[in-house]
Each structure stands twice: as structure tokens, then as C-alpha cells.
Structure 1
Amino acid sequence: MSNSFAEQLSNVKLKPSKDKTKDFSDPKLADQISTYQKTALETNMEEWQMLLVNETFPTVYCPITYSDAQHFIRIFERHFQKLHEHQLFDQIRERMDIWFNDDLEEKQWYEQIKERLQKTIDQAYPNTKELFAKTSSRSAKDACVFKRNFLEVYKNELSKFPDPSQENSRIIALLTAAFLSLCVTSATEVLSMFIISERIYQDMLLATEAQDSSDSLFKENIILRPFIPIDVDMEFRGFVYQQRLTCLSQYNYLIYSQRLCQWKDNILEKIISFFNQSVKTKLDKYKSHNYVIDFALAKGDDESVNSMKVWVIELNPFMETTDGALFSWQHERNLLEGRSNENQDKPLFRITEKVRQGSWSMLPISIRQWIKNENN
């Protein structure tokens, strides 16, 4: 039986080391666990999506029961946890589609949830082949690199740059490949990613620890949305304190984007207008007036910023466990809470304004080493 969520957090194996993927959305301090659990669950999709039904992407739910969550936990611990700890990428990729051959106990459950999920997909999206899937809290984006075509997609994206050896080009290609790898077409693809994802595992631990164990009261879902292409320089993280948008940051801040620098003022005004006119009032009914909100600008009829449509991607806890992007929770709390003269009139907007030397070294060493080995 799995340890409690608190015990899992105190286990050194779940703490990020210098050689493991750094995931800023994980809880970090043991004394924050209770607050984190409550606040994290409040930002689950079910808590706000219907308030912003026209401002966020079309959404369909496929329920995850308490027993489903326990199955996800057991499978990860039995088959993939040690492989993650030792960063054995090839073995994870080899086992992700065959693990159930050695685990008949879990295979029956897997076939049942796969059938249930595929039925939901077929009914909700009969004419949509490409989907995005996540759980109530987060996506399985840490599982992207295990997809068999990931390196091929990365190399294809890299080939689009005039000088693919440039660090900035390589990071943009990597982030784009990761985003494209989140596109799924079947229940099998969704579950393959969820089962090997450490993020999904951690979220199931949190959900089973913090929620009622009765399946009728347990509130977790697989979220299904149409896959809508978003360029990696057109995602933004907003900070809302007491219902006021105080700060805005480039989401993928390791990359430099020339057009983002050119469009900076237009993008800020576009997001401010969208938030104040379409989002703010509707979230008056939301449980908290403090949250971190992610926006995306999707392509319009042409290549101009004016034709782009703003979407809400998701809400996150207004806590240090949420990545501050180009802001520091520790040193700039006054900015994030709107208590500075710098952002009294409008949100303070930060982007990466020049190529950041050494950005490749800021990526997880496991990812860098894997790409290096695969290219040799």
C-alpha cells in the first residue's frame, strides 16, 4: 500500500536532485502540505471551468474514481518509479506499452478504463482526431520524451531554423516537440502517457490523500480537449491578487522571441482587456480571489497579433509551489501582490528580451544527456 502524500513528500526519492527533472509545480516544504493540498484542489479544472466555459478550450470530462487513482499509483510504483529515479529512459520507453503483460492483476483494470475512456472520446469528439488530455490538475508533459517519435519531431522542428546549432533554436525546437507530443488520438495513447508520468503519479497521491475515499465523492477526471496549436512563445503566466491582474510573464522564459519583443505592448493590452472584460467578473464566484492564470494566444486568420484569440489554459495556486516564471516569489512578493508603484496602474509584464546564454544548461540534465546520446 502506498505511503501517505505527506510521507511521500518527506521521502528523499521524491525530492528533486540536481540530476533530476526540476518540476516547479511540486510541493516543496513539508509544513506547506496541508495548505498546498487545499489550494491545489481548488484550482482543479472542475472548480472553475464552467465559470469560463467560453474563455477556455472546449472541455469534456471522463471520471477517475478513487480506485482508478489507486491503480495509477500502484502501476507507477511497481513498474516505473525506479526507472525514473535512475533516469533509464530507454527502459521506460520499452515498458510503457507492455508492462501489463507481467501484471495480470492490473491488466483487467487497464482494459476497463481504456474502454471507458475511448467511449467518451468517440461520443464527445466523433469528428476530431487530435486531442489534448490531462487530469484535473496537470498534464503528463514529463512523459513526452518517452514517445517513440519524439526525437524525430525534435529534429524536424530544429531543421526549420537557418542555424540549428544555436542554443535558442534548439530550446525552441525542444519545447515545440514537447508540445506537439501532447497531441493524442486514442485512449491507448492517453493512458500510456499517464501511467509513466511522475506528475500524474504525484497528483494521484495528492488526490487520494486529500479527498474522500468514497468513489461517489471523489472528484478527479481525465480532461479531454481538442488539440489547438499554440506557439511556444505565445503562452503567458498571469498573477492575480485580490482579483487584480498584477503581473504577467512569458511562460517559456528560457527562449528569446523577436516577434514577442515587437508585440510586447500589444500583447499586454490584449490580455488586460480579455481579463478585465471576459474573465475577472466571472471568477467572482471562484473560491479564491488569488490565483495564477495561464493564457495562450492562438493563431487567427493571419500572422498578426491583432487576429490572435486569447484563451485561458488553466488556473494554478497562488503559492511558491507554482513556478514564478520571470518573477521571484521570495524576493518580489510585493510585485506579485500589487503593492509596488511599478504595477499600480497596470500589470508589470516581463519577457526575455535577448538570447539567454547558457539556457541549454538550465534544462534538466537527463533531457540534455538523452538528446546528446540519441544524436551520437
Structure 2
Amino acid sequence: MHRGSVARPADDAHWRAVVDRRPPEGSVFVYAVVTTGIYCRPGCPSRRPKRENVRIFEGPAAARAAGFRPCQRCRPDEAPGADLAARIARARTRLEDTAEAEPALADLAAAAGFSPSHFHRVFKAQVGLSPKAYARTVRAARLRAALEEGASVTDATYEAGYSGPARAHADADAALGMTPSAYRRGGAGVQIDHVIVDSALGRLLVAATPRGLCAVAMGEDDAALLAALRARFPNATLRADGAAAHAVLPAVLALAAAPGTAPEVPLDLAGTAFQRRVWAELRRIPAGETRTYSAVAAAIGQPTATRAVARACADNPVALVVPCHRVVRTDGGLGGYRWGPARKRALLDTEAASNPSDTKSDS
């Protein structure tokens, strides 16, 4: 990078940074365009200038001293990343508010003041999903809400922003665990096998579809456990002692007796994109360790979403397999647990005894 406040023509490295809209590693500079009198930061989405009209300055102060004005699109006088969160938030709002298919990546990037490739990287780093994946989860959430409000599948599909049923069915299969029609009918047409047995933590309900485990619940009353399963899938066909449930039962029982020791089991979970990210992060917490709600929020790239993380833990449909019991409060308190604090304490104590050197709680 050139030193001093004198304007210099763009050498190959600086010109490549302007063309690619990405500064060279370890370099900070702005470029001015003599025909417009404006200076920009690399990454500005404005139309590419002619190379012979570009001048390189060490920083904004040097460009201003030479009589150039700051660009209103890329705002080069602001510290890099100073308004990054706000710009990404605006992009998220646009994706959430539009009733159409997701805006083109180039349009989102230009509105945020980034090149498309840089915007894609920044958005994914900030949100945890690519813009396309985020738009897809927004539409799936709209689809879920419309179906729950009683809209027909056709109306819900178009209200959610889908151009037709094919994409809606594909997204719903991932987000709802079943087709839109089956979800609207409360699981109608879906067979759920279940079994209720004794375990180290009391009575244990395990339920599964042919795709995988869909519910694990603990309690003292079999009728209450079965009623909760039926409330979750009011129109599904529930089959007691079915083969799908028995196939995953040994692994769940092993987790109840010795958390962290069971083999992986296939899962069939319905949840929002945010919930799925939280649940995936919980499964990364080793047995014998804990994390705070705020640490989980930070790990998924949303450090202000502590309360939402707590709600996702409470909504976890497969206790033990997704170990929400390993999430505690910042002050060291247990925090909530759907199946009662005594079970949470028992699980943590068992894990601590089995992994005495690994136990820790990150803030």
C-alpha cells in the first residue's frame, strides 16, 4: 500500500481490489474517481470506473484533502464494519417483508453497499445462513403460520411467497417434517409409532415415524405422555409398540442411563430454521460440559437472541438426543427444563461423574 497523502494511479493490486470489490489482505485504502470527484472504499457497489480515472489514497482524510467527496453508497468515512449489523438487518427485513420470491442477490448486495460475493460471505457470517437459505426459511415460516390459521394449502403456498406447490412441498418436507397437506391436517396420513417404558429418569415415551425419531418425553403418567404426543400430532395415526419406535428405543434408553454414550439415531424433527440451528448447536456440546444460553446464542451467530435460544430449548421435541439439559444460566443456576429441575440435575450430575475432568460452563 502507498504511504502519504499524494494521489497515485491504481497499480495492479489496487485495481484488482476495485474490480473485485474486495481490498487486498491487510490493506486499507480508498479510491477516488477524477471524473466524478467522489472517493469510495473497495467493495462499493457503484458502477466500475475506468482505470485511468482512478486515484488511490491511503485513507479518507487524504482523499478529502485532495478535494474529493465521500460516496453516499459505501460511506468510506465510516469505520469498516461500523454499520455492518444495521446493513445486514435491513437485508433481513427486506427478505422477511417481501411477499415475492427472494430478491436477487445482486439487488440485496447493492442495497447493503457490498459486492454480491462479499455480501454473501458477510450475511452468512452474521446470520448463520446464506441469503437464499434465509429467504427459504422465511417462506417456510409463513407457510406454517398460514396453515395453522386454517388457510388452504393452495392459498398458504402463494401467501407465503412461493411461485408454485413444488418448492413449497420441498421446503415443507424439511421445515415441517411432512407435506403441507399433512401438516394442515395435524399429521393426517402420517403414522407415528410410540412406546412407553421405564427408564433411569422415570417413564419415558419414545415416538418415531419411518423417517426417524420425532418425540422423546419424560414423566410419571403414561396417559399424560400419550396425550401430549396426540396434541402435537392431533390427526396422525398413533401406533403403540410399533417397529419404528422400537428401532430407536435402545439408543434413547442408553442416553437416559448414561448421557452421551448412545449411537446416532435418525431424526424427523419439525422446527423453524432458528430452532434447528439451536438444536444442532446443542448436539455439539460434549457430555460432561455445559453452556449458557448466551454462549449458545453467540455460537449460532446471534448473540442478542438469548431468550429465543431459551424458547428453542423449551420447544425441543427430543429430550436427551438433543441435550437441552446442558444449557444453564449465566449465574450458574440450572435454568428451566421442560421435564423438571430434578431430572436436569440428575442428568448433569451423571455426566459430571462420568467426565470429571471435562465439566465446565462457558459464559
Query: TM-score over 0.5 for the alignment?
Result: no
TM-score by length of 2: 0.26
TM-score by length of 1: 0.25
Which structure is higher in RCO with an 8 Å CA cutoff and minimum separation 6?
1
Q: Which has the larger radius of gyration?
A: 2
